[in-house]
Amino acid sequence: MTHLGCSLLSCGVVDDRHFEMEDYQGAIARWCPGCGDHSILTAMQRLLEEEQLKPEQTVFVSGIGCSSRFPHYMKTYGFHGLHGRAIPAATGIKLERPDLDVFVTMGDGDCCSIGAGHWIHAIRYNVDMVVLLLDNNMYGLTKGQTSPTTPATFPSNTQPYGSYLEALNPLTATLGVTNASFVAQTAEWIPAHLFETLKAAYHHKGFAFVRILQRCPVYTEKIYEDAVRQPDAIEMLIHDDGIHIPDLDEIYKNQIIHDPGNLDEARRLAEPFDRFRLGIFYRNEKRPRYEDLRRLPVRTAEEKVELLNQEFDRYAV
Ligand code: SF4
């Protein structure tokens, strides 16, 4: 860690720390070789370095699954919780400590199945946090069961003759919830796009939902294989208010200009299509945030203890 820029800490001491990538690197990642989670981890550590986020002011929250090991690999605060319950834990952290930067990492089983109730209501609450859905279309940690986003007919250990149902679409589901404020999709094998999407999500004030198409070479290698090898399988949503990386123009020639302020068009573009669409589908910072609406009175620590004691007294026998 070098010491360059400076800011004033609450205790009056000048904070001149400058953070390098290694300052955010926690334990050695134990994901399988070739797992897309590795590149997401790198992109996230790059983001924290670029934004110079203070490790002690940053929290990663996860549930259960391969992607939920994420907090272990960041040298920040972290909470590796229960299956599907990352969002309520993160919401509590953010409401109690609005000064912290809160990130949530979930897999498709974690978010779209057991955690689906929390996901839907958190979109409506629009609490300021970044929520990443690392979507490999399968339960990986528990060894290859069909998840809500497994494509129809794709075989798994639980449905060996192929998934019976059409996959749930996390983009249309999120965009369909009242008060959705940021919805984007990116792919972990396009690092520049992944990074810019994470950056846009971080700068959004509200619930920023990013679905990241993630390769799992163990259980779902075939699903994204064509998209990785053939840029024509991708369609970029570009706009001055969205994401446009000129260096990628030569590779990803399928582009569509989409204003992220247009919700109806975002919903149309999020429908299943014969290419993967990447970019910011929707962004609206005017959506109300729960933390601004609840208007809790500001109380001192002594007042909180007094209120707590009064509450206990109600049950005295
Ligand atoms: Fe990644 Fe799949 Fe291995 Fe899990 S099982 S660590 S998702 S490659």
pLDDT, residue 10, reads 63
DSSP state of 279: E
Query: Ligand 1 centroid vs 211 CA: distance in angstroms?
Result: 17
Residue 14 lies in a domain: no
Is residue 135 lining ligand 1, measured as CB closer than 6 Å?
no
- pLDDT tens digit sequence for 133-149: 999 999 999 899 999 99
Crossing angle of helices 86-96 and 116-125, in 10° steps, is: 30
Residue 300 lies in a domain: yes
How far is Cα 116 from Cα 132, in angstroms, rounded to an integer? 14
Is residue 185 lining ligand 1, measured as CB closer than 6 Å?
no
Number of separate domains in the chain: 1
Residue 58 lies in a domain: yes
Range of the domain at 307: 22-312
pLDDT, residue 149, reads 97
Q: Which of 139, 157, 219, 221 to mutate to test the pocket of ligand 1 (most atoms within 8 A of CB)?
A: 219
Whether the predicted pLDDT of 114 surpasses 50: yes
Confidence band, pLDDT 50/70/90 cuts, at residue 6: low
Is residue 29 lining ligand 1, measured as CB closer than 6 Å?
no
- pLDDT tens digit sequence for 37-82: 999 999 999 999 999 999 999 999 999 999 999 999 999 999 999 9
- pLDDT tens digit sequence for 170-218: 999 999 999 999 999 999 999 999 999 999 999 999 999 999 999 999 9
CATH number reported for the structural domain that contains residue 249 in this entry = 3.40.50.970
Whether the predicted pLDDT of 98 surpasses 60: yes
Residue 290 lies in a domain: yes
Candidates 65, 71, 33; CA nearest to 221 is 33
Confidence band, pLDDT 50/70/90 cuts, at residue 1: very low
Alpha-carbon distances, residue 297 vs 62, 99, 198, 291, 303 (angstroms): 30, 17, 34, 12, 11
Phi first, then psi, for residue 269 (nearest 5°) are -70, -25
The overall average pLDDT reported for the chain is 94
Query: Ligand 1 centroid vs 11 CA: distance in angstroms?
Result: 44
pLDDT, residue 4, reads 43
Crossing angle of helices 191-203 and 37-51, in 10° steps, is: 50
Is residue 31 lining ligand 1, measured as CB closer than 6 Å?
yes
Residue 263 lies in a domain: yes
Residue 13 lies in a domain: no
Residue 12 lies in a domain: no
Tell me, yes or no, if the pTM score tops 0.95.
Answer: no
Q: Which of 28, 30, 37, 105 to mutate to test the pocket of ligand 1 (most atoms within 8 A of CB)?
A: 37
How far is Cα 223 from Cα 230, in angstroms, rounded to an integer? 13
- In this structure, the strands spanning 255-257 and 234-238 are parallel
Confidence band, pLDDT 50/70/90 cuts, at residue 298: confident
Residue 71 lies in a domain: yes
- pLDDT tens digit sequence for 216-250: 999 998 899 999 999 999 999 999 999 999 999 99
